Amino acid sequence: MEIGKILESIMRNNNIVGTISSVIVIIGAGFFFTKKKVIPSNCAGSLSKVILNLAIPTLSYNAFMQDIDSRKLEQSLSILVWGIVIHLVLIFLTKIFYKNYSGDRNDVLRMMTIFGSTTVFGIPVIQAVYGDTGAMYASVFNIPYRALLYTYGYMTIAGVKLKKENMGKIISNPIIVATFLGMFVWMFQNYFFQVSVIEGDIIRKYAFLRIDKTAYWLFKPMQYLASLNAPLSWLSIGITLAGVSFNDILKSKISWGYSVVKVVVIPVFLVALYTIMNMTGVLTTSYIALATIVLMMATPAATVIATYTIHFNKEPVLTSSCSLMSSIFSVAMIPFLIITIEILKSMGIFS
């Protein structure tokens, strides 16, 4: 198929076009109404609490409410392994990327490169474009991400060793709990107590924890909560961007360099790597799995890392500058990556 026809088919895909336009419009609305003082500039923090404690956990669990098949199981385990490998490799590669910087500046740049804002930027877009399968893959990818974020990321910025309270924070995190519970139900659903459910003229059996089939009265409100994730996340981005000076950020060469590495170089390298592996038969990856991994890595600096740097006074100004610049890069880059992946899919490289 010609590239022109592929692009035309992509632009006719209402789901993709609608998601991209929604990101731009809702972020713009948050920015505009905050500048006009209609929305309080300090409400982004409250929105993030709703997102982290309600929207993302329900989305993570609901994403696993689907029938299991060998292909999805294989891809999920592959994504889990790749999530571990990518983050561990970046721990070492970032030492090379930022070898010209030392002390706190080196630590902060490295942590912002390793850990992206997957909750606000990655998962909402992936869920909107690729549905529950994409959300499920994203939740799996985030397991090693969060484990390292709350341990290695914290210890590096704080300059401390691993403590029991940090492990407790990881284990009790609502998103981690919901992801593990959902993944457990999905993987072992055929071995749980089965409940008969009437679907049209057919009676089917489902695990009692498949609440999408056995307890719709509970599943529906969880769906509503999960649907808050994307709009609230994008709105909070706009609110945050409204409070930062663009002129100061545009003058920061470090912010430009960081954003290029984080949002452009790493995702493009991953697209090239997976394309080569698929074409040579070294590793077969579905296009949704590819999109999940690439888009999760194309996110700007993680807000948790920004919180760490502010709390411990480790280059907080640089962090804010890099966060905003990389956010702008990400808003522009994510649509490009989605279109690129759709082109590769249309060419038959990914199924």
Q: Give kind and range of the element (H or E) at residue 206.
A: strand 202-207
Rounded to the nearest 5 percent, the helix, strand and coil shares of the chain are 75, 5, 20
Is the dihedral angle over the CA atoms 295, 133, 60, 238 positive or is it negative?
A: positive
- In angstroms, the first-to-last Cα distance of the chain is 15
Query: How confident is the model at residue 10, as a pLDDT?
Result: 62
Query: How confident is the model at residue 4, as a pLDDT?
Result: 66
DSSP string, 146-160: HHHIIIIIHHHHHT-
Backbone angles phi, psi at 61, to 5 degrees: -70, -45
Query: How confident is the model at residue 166, as a pLDDT?
Result: 64
Query: How confident is the model at residue 303, as a pLDDT?
Result: 75
Architecture of domain 3-346: Up-down Bundle (1.20)
* DSSP state, residue 39: S
Q: What is the pLDDT of residues 171-230, one digit of tens each?
A: 777 877 888 898 889 889 889 999 998 887 888 899 999 999 999 999 999 999 988 877
Contact 129, 338 (CB under 8 A): yes
Contact 283, 346 (CB under 8 A): no
The predicted model scores a pTM of 0.76
What does the alpha-carbon distance between residue 265 and residue 196 come to, in Å, rounded to a whole number? 51
Residue of 344, 289, 338 lying closest to 13 (CA atoms): 338
Query: How confident is the model at residue 292, as a pLDDT?
Result: 94
What does the alpha-carbon distance between residue 115 and residue 338 come to, in Å, rounded to a whole number? 21
Tens-level pLDDT at each residue, the chain (351 residues):
456 666 676 677 777 677 777 878 888 898 899 999 999 988 877 887 888 788 878 988 888 888 877 788 888 888 999 999 999 999 999 999 999 998 899 999 999 999 998 877 788 888 888 888 898 899 889 888 887 887 788 788 877 666 666 677 667 778 778 888 988 898 898 899 999 988 878 888 999 999 999 999 999 999 999 888 778 877 887 887 787 777 777 888 999 999 999 999 999 999 999 999 988 877 778 889 999 999 999 998 887 787 778 677 788 778 878 888 888 898 889 888 998 998 888 888 887
What does the alpha-carbon distance between residue 188 and residue 69 come to, in Å, rounded to a whole number? 11
Going from N- to C-terminal start, the domains of the chain cover 3-346
